[in-house]
Every structure is written in C-alpha cells, then in structure tokens.
Amino acid sequence: MAEPDKPANVPQMAAAAAAGAAKTAGRSGRSTELPEHLKAYKGVWVFIEHDRGQVHTVSWELMGEARKLADKLGVDVSGVLLGGPADKLEDFAKEAYVYGADHCYIMRDPVLQGYRNEPYTKGLTDLVNQHQPEILLLGATTMGRDLAGSVATTLGTGLTADCTELNIDGRALAATRPTFGGSLLCTIMTLAYRPQMATMRPRTAPMPARDERRTGDIVTMALGMIETDIVTKLLEFIPDANRNTVNLAYADIIVTGGKGLKNADNFKLVWELAKVLGAEVGATRAVTQAGWCEAERQVGQTGKTVRPKLYIAAGVSGAIQHRVGMESSDIIVAINTDANAPIFDFAHHGIVGNALQVLPALTQAFATRLGKQIRKVA
Ligand SMILES: Cc1cc2nc3c(=O)[nH]c(=O)nc-3n(C[C@H](O)[C@H](O)[C@H](O)COP(=O)(O)OP(=O)(O)OC[C@H]3O[C@@H](n4cnc5c(N)ncnc54)[C@H](O)[C@@H]3O)c2cc1C
C-alpha cells in the first residue's frame, strides 16, 4: 500500500487535459512546477451540500479535513453555498464557521432552488474562476459525485473521487483512494492544474469539534443564468418511500453478518442480536448478493462507510473491500471459526468460534444484562 505521505505513484490527472496546453503543463507533463498563472490559487474550499433545509453531515466532516489541510498550507478555509430564495444559506454559513470555515461564498438565485447539474456547475465554476481556490472538496454523495465530475471537466482540472484520506505533500493535495478493486491504495496528486478536486464519502472522516465562538465573513456572487437557459426542469420532488430508511452510516452500533452464516435463515441471528442492542444490521457483499438482506445494508468499498462505536462482525472474513468501509469503527468484535481469518488482523476483540452458537449466546447475555426481551425474527 502506498504511504499517504510518500506516494508511490504520482500520476498526472488525465481528466485535466481538457484545459489545453496553453493553460497547463500538458497531458503527459511530469513537471511538478506549477505554471505561473496558477500560483495565485490559494485556500481550501468545501462545497456545502444541503437539501430540504438540511446540510449533509459529510460537508462538516469535510470542513474538519479542510481545516487540517489549510493549517498545513497556512491558508484559509471557505464554505461554498449555492441555493434558492427559500434556502437558509446564511444560517448554514454560521454552522460552517463553527466547524472551521473562515469565509463563506454564497450564490443565491431562483434557478438554484433544488439541485440541478447545469446551474450548479455554472455557479461553482464561476466562483472558482473568480476567487481561485487551490483545493475544492465535495462529499461523495449522489449530488457531490454528479457535481464534482462536471465542475472538474468544465474547469479542466483533476478530480480524485471517493478518497479515504486527504493530506498535503509539499504544497499539493495528496488524495488517497482504493484502486485495483480495493486491493491497493493509491495516492493521486494533481500537480499542474488548479484547483485540486476531491470527493470523500460520508463517515470516512470524523466530525470536527464545534467551536461556537468562531465567526467569519460572507462573499456573495450572482449567477447570471435564467430558467430558459436550463434544459432540466424540476417539476416535483417525490421522496422514495423505500430509500434512506437504513441509517447505517451514522449508526452507533452495527451487527454485521457474513457468508460464514451459511444461509438466510441463520442470518436472522444477526437481527436478533441487533434488536437487543438497538443496533443497525450490516452485511458483506457476499451476503447482499446472496439476497439474505437488502443491498443498502452492504458495508465496504462498494457499500456504506461506517464508523460506529461498536461493530460486531459474525462470519465475516475481513476482505480489504469490506475492511475499508468499517475499520474506523471505535471497537470491532469479530466472530470467526478460522483463527487466521484476515479480520482478526484489525479487530480489537476476537472470538474464534461458530457464529451460529456465539450469536445466540451474545443475544442472551446482552438481553439479561440490559433487561430486554429477545424478539425472534420471523
Ligand atoms: C470491486 C470489488 C468491490 C467489493 N466491495 C465489497 C464491499 O463493499 N463490501 C464487502 O463486504 N465486500 C466487497 N467485495 C467482496 C469482498 O472481496 C469479499 O468477497 C466479501 O467481503 C466476502 O464476504 P464474507 O466475508 O461474507 O464471505 P467469505 O469471504 O466467504 O468469508 C466467510 C468467513 O466466515 C467464516 N466462517 C465460516 N463458517 C463460520 C461460522 N460457522 N462461524 C463463524 N465464522 C464462520 C470463514 O472462516 C470466513 O472467514 C468486493 C469485491 C470486489 C472485487
């Protein structure tokens, strides 16, 4: 694995080639020297994602990371807020200061009421071109992924998606993410383009501490776009009744079952322990693919990233693609028949044993201890 501070591989970002040779060091350029006109880019920005009056928590997690990066570079942190007349952007800005921002850029326009790619891409690229940040961070959410890609290609700069770690190497952003199907971590740097862009998944970084004394200033900018310029129309918002019912990413306790449980019937033992503990149920990809539980319960590289206080993994091998999604948990307890299973390399507590016996024993013990009834899962 690449050490984040000493990247083994420092590719130029191919996506940045769109900017053209005059503006950059060129597609195949290996020069680490920043072109003169890009040296003016300063500061770390966080795109603050909000929807229906709520800021997505990943924006504050990113604010904490941005603060650390900016302190290393000796620059300021700014939050970027785009929205419509009904959005409480100034209130969100106040929260941004509490989590570490020094400034907020606000762009308010009727066409920015509700997310659409076209006006948000124009708004964010205009702000970047006007104020020139060196780093721009977005959450790897549905909205963040959609917006980051179009902003990066419009600006002709590099974007490292789904990062698990952000650092500074020299003056460059060293963005680490899984590669080769999650079997390796690579650190990517955008050396000759600005801004350096990255997305990070919710729960990859911890929530920063709140400092209620912090305040900052607001810079406003107009969008300069009218409704008839925009192809996509937002007619109505219809929430998906089946979506987001599972709050895995922000659960305090998760009991996860793996393929070692053998079949869907045995997987009910995971639910029974989870109910006694007031926990969420997680699963490996092998389990969701077998149809033992819903896909949205999958933890790992292609599932959710979680960081609960307690993570109990039963019959889970601990493959790297699973590990990257849960290794930041405060306490990991693994139950596995194989004493050499990879999960024991990073679990805090290990039980070498048959999960079909250990899970009911734990359920019984916790029920007695917590004074709860065991509810059999049908
Ligand atoms: C591109 C890519 C992305 C992926 N993304 C993800 C992802 O997001 N999440 C994810 O989980 N996986 C992901 N995977 C799959 C991953 O590589 C593993 O195959 C998967 O995590 C294995 O699931 P498992 O541990 O449940 O099953 P197995 O690997 O089959 O492990 C079962 C474990 O149970 C143990 N066991 C057997 N019987 C018992 C028993 N009675 N009691 C206790 N223990 C027992 C065994 O010793 C073994 O360690 C991805 C793979 C690829 C290639």
Q: Among the three residues 229, 261, 288, which one is the final residue of a domain in this structure?
A: 229
The residue whose C-alpha atom lies closest to atom 9 belonging to ligand 1 is 300
What is the predicted pLDDT for the residue at 203? 92
- Would residue 15 count as lying in a domain? no
Q: What is the pLDDT along the chain (378 residues), one digit of tens a residue?
A: 333 333 333 333 333 333 333 344 334 445 667 888 889 999 999 999 999 999 999 999 999 999 999 999 999 999 999 999 999 999 999 999 999 999 999 999 999 999 999 999 999 999 999 999 999 999 999 999 999 999 999 999 999 999 999 999 988 999 999 888 777 889 999 998 999 999 999 999 999 999 999 999 999 999 999 999 999 999 988 877 766 567 899 999 999 999 999 999 999 999 999 999 999 999 999 999 999 999 999 999 999 999 999 999 999 999 999 999 999 999 999 999 999 999 999 999 999 999 999 999 999 999 999 987 777 777
Asked whether residue 296 falls in the same domain as residue 329, the answer is yes
Q: Quick one: 325 and 185 in the same domain?
A: no
Same domain for 157 and 297?
no
Same domain, 217 and 257: no
Q: What is the pLDDT of residue 145?
A: 97
Pocket residues: Cβ below 6 A from ligand 1: 181-182, 258-260, 284-287, 298-303, 315-317, 319, 321-322, 325, 335-338, 341, 354-356
Cα–Cα distance measured from residue 136 to residue 125, given in angstroms and rounded to the nearest whole number: 11
260 and 208 share one domain: no
Buried b (16+ CB within 10 A) or exposed e, 129-149: eebbbbbbbbbbbebbbbbbb
Distance CA 43, CA 102 (A): 10
Same domain, yes or no: 201 and 263: no
Instruction: Please indicate, yes or no, whether residues 222 and 256 belong to a single structural domain of this protein.
Output: no
Q: Show the domain range for 293.
A: 248-377
Residue with tokens 């013990």: 365
Q: Are residues 105 and 225 in the same domain?
A: yes
Task: List the structure tokens of 102.
Answer: 């020094």
Give the CATH number for residue 255. Answer: 3.40.50.1220
Distance 346 CA to ligand 1 centre (A): 15
Cβ atoms of residues 359 and 314 within 8 Å: yes
Residue 283 Cα to ligand 1 middle (Å): 9
Q: Give distance in angstroms: CA of 251 to centre of ligand 1.
A: 21
Residue 165, in any domain of the structure: yes
- pLDDT given for residue 238 in this prediction: 87
pLDDT of residue 31: 60
Q: Is residue 14 part of a domain?
A: no
Residue 201 CB coordination number (10 Å): 24
Residue 271 CA, ligand 1 centroid: distance in Å = 18
Number of domains into which the chain is organized: 2
Rounded Cα distance between 278 and 57, Å, is 22
Full DSSP string of 213-254: T---EEEE------GGG-S---------TTTT----TT-SEE
At residue 34, the pLDDT reads 80
Query: What pLDDT, on the 0 to 100 scale, is given for residue 27?
Result: 45
Q: Looking at the structure, tell me whether residues 144 and 104 fall in a common domain.
A: yes
Ligand 1 atom closest to residue 335's alpha carbon, by position in its atom list: 43
Domain edge (last residue) among 176, 197, 229: 229
Could you tell me the CA-to-CA distances from 203 to 172, 223, 276, 364 in Å, in that order? Answer: 24, 32, 25, 31
Which pTM was predicted?
Answer: 0.81
Residue 18 lies in a domain: no
Residue that is last in its domain, among 178, 194, 229: 229
Q: Which of 262, 289, 337 to mutate to test the pocket of ligand 1 (most atoms within 8 A of CB)?
A: 337
Question: Are 295 and 261 in a shared domain?
Answer: yes
